[in-house]
């Protein structure tokens, strides 16, 4: 088995694995499970600081992104796509699938979205039903100020769909203060639960928009309204994956008990970046670094595959490349959830130093030692 240090999936704690192995009931018929599911959703609301309803859907985090677009988009709706990363750009595909007209606000992939520039854009054109924005765009690790962006969009009467799959639980996020309408999360990132669940937080404004459509939602599985009255009716739209929900509940309780989770992510991320920069390697981003993912530019003398294959096969550690326009250009280290630990990152930094030496590209410093020194300075 490899040590997984990718930007998700992440390491799963033993209590989460054990929770997924518990004996299960029939989740459609056992009324006690409806209470358990609702209590788990209420915990999601508490952790993300919101009165909005929360739901857990059976499907990897991408399901949440599509469900948001499927549930809001009607034919010819103009939708603003805030694009400063691969996933940010990708929202346009979901909008097109459901007949909408995506309009791009594109900016430098090396930086976060600038709210002042966005405001200038909106002064000229704000006729949008909703806008999409990514909190941490995983392929590059860029972190957008989604709270400021969402509040700005609300000033223009634009609903917001925020992808925080790779941000939440590693970065601070207050849904109510940000006035986010649909927040999308995934189980396998900083939450450190198993792959396979989407979490959604949905505002009353978003529900009203869905209920007052002139055309029906063109999906069943991705129709958020199908979850709206599940508790009162004691009926789920489809059989929930009960073992995975037991697991996510344990993971949420782990987060609740980890009072310094955000501080831990910040310290690990900053020490990682300092070590990378002192080594002579280059960070892909110019600014806007997330505390969950670090993207490192591939030196011109090497390929991403040489680095990834060597560290995996020789040192047993799996990190990631990237894709789309960033394919071959960066390698990515995930320091999120249970992977945002000193021991995990020390081992990874040590393996990276040895990997570059093996490939004939010696670094200016030992990554592990520099990482540990930087961590002590925090």
197-232 pLDDT, tens digit per residue, is: 999 999 999 999 999 999 999 999 999 999 999 999
Calpha distance 43→229 (Å, rounded): 18
Domain finish residue from 242, 257, 272: 257
pLDDT-based confidence at residue 65 (cuts at 50, 70, 90): very high
Same domain, 103 and 228: yes
Domain count, the chain: 2
Domain finish residue from 220, 237, 257: 257
CB count in 10 Å sphere of residue 93: 13
Cα 233 to chain centroid distance, Å, stands at 31
Same domain, 83 and 29: yes
Helix (H) and strand (E) counts in the chain: 14, 13
Same domain, 241 and 360: no
**Mean predicted confidence (pLDDT) in 34-51:** 98
Specify the CATH number for the domain of residue 167.
3.40.640.10
What integer best gives the mean pLDDT of the chain?
A: 98
144-177 pLDDT, tens digit per residue, is: 999 999 999 999 999 999 999 999 999 999 999 9
pLDDT of 378 higher than 90: no
What residue numbers bound the domain in which 32 lies? 14-257
Same domain, 238 and 280: no
264-323 pLDDT, tens digit per residue, is: 999 999 999 999 999 999 999 999 999 999 999 999 999 999 999 999 999 999 999 999
Same domain, 204 and 287: no
Backbone angles phi and psi of 183, in degrees to 5: -110, 130
Same domain, 271 and 247: no
Same domain, 331 and 203: no
Same domain, 252 and 267: no
- pTM beyond 0.85: yes
pLDDT score at 94: 98
> In this structure, is residue 7 part of a structural domain?
no
Same domain, 291 and 312: yes
- Listing DSSP states for 140-204 in one string gives TTEE--HHHHHHHHHHTT-EEEEE-TTTBTTB---HHHHT-SEEEEETTSTT---SSEEEEEE-H
Angstrom CA distances, 373 to 292, 353, 362, stand at: 20, 15, 20
Calpha distance 342→353 (Å, rounded): 16
Domain finish residue from 224, 257, 290: 257
> In this structure, is residue 4 part of a structural domain?
no
> In this structure, is residue 48 part of a structural domain?
yes
pLDDT score at 1: 85
Same domain, 298 and 225: no
pLDDT score at 221: 97
Specify the CATH number for the domain of residue 353.
3.90.1150.10
324-342 pLDDT, tens digit per residue, is: 999 999 999 999 999 999 9
**In contact, 137 and 88? CB cutoff 8 Å:** yes
């Amino acid at each position: 088995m490899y040590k997984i240090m990718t930007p998700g999936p992440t390491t799963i704690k033993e209590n989460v694995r054990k929770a997924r192995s518990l004996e299960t009931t029939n989740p459609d018929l056992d009324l006690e499970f409806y209470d358990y599911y609702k209590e788990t959703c209420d915990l999601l609301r508490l952790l993300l600081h919101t009165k909005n309803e929360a739901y857990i859907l059976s499907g990897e985090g991408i399901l949440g992104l599509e469900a948001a677009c499927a549930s809001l988009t009607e034919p010819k709706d103009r939708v603003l796509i805030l694009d400063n990363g691969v996933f940010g750009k990708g929202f346009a595909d979901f909008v097109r699938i459901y007949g909408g007209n995506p309009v791009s606000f594109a900016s430098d992939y090396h930086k976060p979205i600038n709210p002042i520039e966005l405001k200038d854009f909106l002064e000229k054109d704000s006729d949008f039903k909703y806008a999409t924005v990514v909190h941490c765009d995983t392929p590059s690790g860029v972190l957008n100020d989604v709270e400021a962006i969402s509040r700005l969009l609300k000033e223009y009467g634009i609903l917001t769909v925020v992808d925080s799959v790779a941000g939440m639980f590693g970065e601070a996020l207050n849904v109510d203060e940000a006035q986010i309408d649909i927040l999308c999360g995934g189980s396998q990132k900083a939450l450190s639960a198993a792959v396979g669940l989407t979490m959604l937080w949905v505002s009353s404004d978003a529900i009203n928009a869905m209920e007052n459509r002139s055309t029906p939602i063109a999906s069943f599985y991705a129709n958020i309204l199908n979850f709206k009255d599940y508790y009162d009716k004691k009926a789920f739209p489809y059989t929930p994956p009960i073992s995975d929900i037991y697991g996510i509940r344990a993971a949420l309780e782990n987060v609740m008990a980890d009072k310094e989770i955000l501080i831990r992510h910040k310290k690990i991320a900053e020490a990682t970046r300092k070590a990378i920069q002192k080594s002579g390697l280059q960070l892909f981003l110019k600014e806007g670094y997330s505390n969950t993912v670090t993207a490192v530019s591939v030196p011109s003398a090497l390929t991403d595959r040489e680095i990834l294959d060597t560290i995996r096969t020789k040192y047993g550690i799996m990190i990631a490349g990237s894709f789309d326009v960033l394919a071959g250009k960066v390698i990515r280290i995930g320091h999120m959830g249970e992977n945002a630990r000193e021991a995990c990152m020390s081992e990874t930094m040590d393996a990276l130093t040895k990997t570059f030496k093996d490939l004939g590209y010696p670094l200016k410093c030992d990554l592990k030692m520099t990482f540990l020194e930087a961590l002590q300075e925090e």
